[in-house]
Structure 1
Amino acid sequence: MDWHNLALFTATEAALSLSPGPAVMVVIACAMARGWRTSLWAAAGILSGNAVYFALSASGIGALLLTAPLLFHTLRYGGAAYLIYLGACALLGRPSALTLPRAADTPRTSMQIYRAAMLLQLSNPKGLLMFVSILPQFIDPQAALAGQMLILAACSMIPEFFILLAYGMLAGKLGQHATAPRYALITERIAGTLVLTAGVVVALL
């Protein structure tokens, strides 16, 4: 693996991370509803999903999953349904990991956000397809696979973490200024709409 290919892969991954897809929507929604620090948990969940995809791609299981429609669609629709549920809770004012007051932040709610974000990433068919189709183009068949996958994983996930964090901090600032009850309700509705939209996008991909 040469430095040119590594730089090209990093730039490709960064460009994909900048695009406002379902992962970005969830990070923004969490930050707006509960403060920018919750975007750390959302980003960690998304990157954990990516780590699973790297492992599946390295083992060849990822390509196998793409040929197993029942398992693939079950995972996708399950994740989409959970995101739609979270978004609906926010829109209807019902309690969930996304809609509880900021003062109610606990390790439990943080883990709920982490699990929701990881489930989103694992249920996004574009994620698996991207890893299975793009990664082989940057792999040197003459070199050790494990070491290359670790390097590529770092070049993918480190830029994505900071990009998601930047989105979260910007959204958190917006949510922080909307502390009056009326504006807080609007912020919650926007967050719910983003999460619900992310679920619909995942279901339709």
Structure 2
Amino acid sequence: MSTELYIFFFITTIMLVLVPGPSAIRVATQGASSNAKMAFFSVLGVASADALFFALSATGIASLIVASNLIFSVIKWLGVLYLFYLGLSAIFSKTATIKVKAQSTKTTATRAFSQGLIVHLANPKALMYFAALLPQFIDPNKPLALQLLIMGFTCILADLLVYSMFGYAGGQLARRQLKTWAVSMINKVAGVALITTGIRMVGLESLGSKY
């Protein structure tokens, strides 16, 4: 994976994680109701769930590459179409204010971690995201394990960075609800990023087919 392609993958992953969802709300609520430390344990739970989803996706994709390059190419094109669908859905989705209640509650690190883990595992869309995203950045002609290791580390890093931000902002969100226009803007930026990824991958596939 080239440096340029890695940067593109990193930005796309960040955009995906930035879209506010149940996990972001759970982490922000934890930050508002307890403290940033407890919120970080929820972040670790979310990141652990994504690590599992990534491992499942990566294992399946690796098996496809070993079995047949043709099947892998078909899955890759289906992934491009799914990225277009996700992007358009994010751009045209109806958004609402994200509400986080400000209430002081005591919790433990284990409970905060398990809540983040369970909430994210209950959202199978993350598995579909990885299944659609990973093939776009994998070169089957280069060492597979290293590529997956780099992308896996990047996904976990993106989780830790973005969800920690949601946790830190929990107190702010409790006092000032995240406005509809802000949620809409985040969704639209993420949607454009996903569509751009799909277009870029189509361009690379077309270029590769000429040689």
Shorter-normalised TM range: 0.5 to 0.7
For 1:11, the equivalent position in structure 2 comes to: 11
Is residue 62–residue 144 contact of structure 2 (8 Å, CA) maintained in 1? no
Deviations 1:133-186 (A, max 9, x none): 1111111101222211110012222133122112211214666x8xxxxxxxxx
The CA distance in 1 between the partners of 2:7 and 2:148, in whole Å, is 15
Q: Which contiguous aligned blocks of 4+ residues in structure 1 show a shift greater than 4 angstroms?
A: none
Separation in structure 1 between the aligned mates of residue 35 and residue 168 of structure 2, nearest angstrom: 8
User: TM-score with structure 1 length normalisation?
Assistant: 0.60
CA distance in structure 2 between the partners assigned to 1:133 and 1:16 by the alignment: 12
Identify the residue that residue 196 of structure 2 maps to in structure 1. none
- TM-score normalised by length of structure 2: 0.59
Unaligned runs of 5+ residues in structure 1 are: 64-90, 92-98, 178-205
- 1:1-205 correspondence to structure 2 within 5 Å: 1-60=1-60, 101-102=105-106, 105=107, 109-172=108-171
User: How much identity, in percent, do the aligned residues show?
Assistant: 30
Q: Secondary structure at the match of 1:52?
A: helix
Q: 1:101 to 1:116 in 2, by over 3 A?
A: closer
**Aligned-residue CA RMSD in angstroms?**
2.8
Contact 1:36 1:172 in 2 (8 A): no
Separation in structure 1 between the aligned mates of residue 52 and residue 167 of structure 2, nearest angstrom:
23
Q: Residues 33 and 160 (structure 1 numbering): CA distance in 2 closer, same or farther, change over 3 Å? A: same
Conservation of the 8 A alpha-carbon contact between 2:46 and 2:159 = no
Cα distance change, pair 25–110 in 1 and its aligned pair in 2 (3 A): same
Q: Aligned letter for 1:101? A: T
- Paired AA for residue 140 in structure 1: D
Aligned residues of 1:32 and 1:172 also touching (Cα < 8 A): yes
Q: Would the aligned equivalents of 1:54 and 1:149 in 2 still touch at CA under 8 Å?
A: no
Structure 1: how far apart are the matches of 2:130 and 2:160? Answer: 17
Distance 1:117 1:129 in 2: 19
Deviations 1:45-84 (A, max 9, x none): 0100111111111211899xxxxxxxxxxxxxxxxxxxxx
SS in 2 for 1:60: helix
AA aligned to 1:112 is R
1:95-136 CA distances to partner (integer Å, 9 max, x unpaired)?
A: xxxx8833xx4xxx2112211211222221210100011111
Question: Which segments of 5 or more consecutive residues in structure 2 lack a partner in the other structure?
Answer: 64-100, 176-211
Cα deviation code 1:2-43 (max 9, x no counterpart): 122211110011111222111111100111111121111111
The alignment covers a number of residue pairs equal to 139
Supply the distance in 2 between the matched residues of 1:115 and 1:62 (Cα, whole angstroms).
29
Q: For residues 39 and 51 of structure 1, do their structure 2 counterparts lie closer, same or farther at Cα, with a shift above 3 Å needed?
A: same
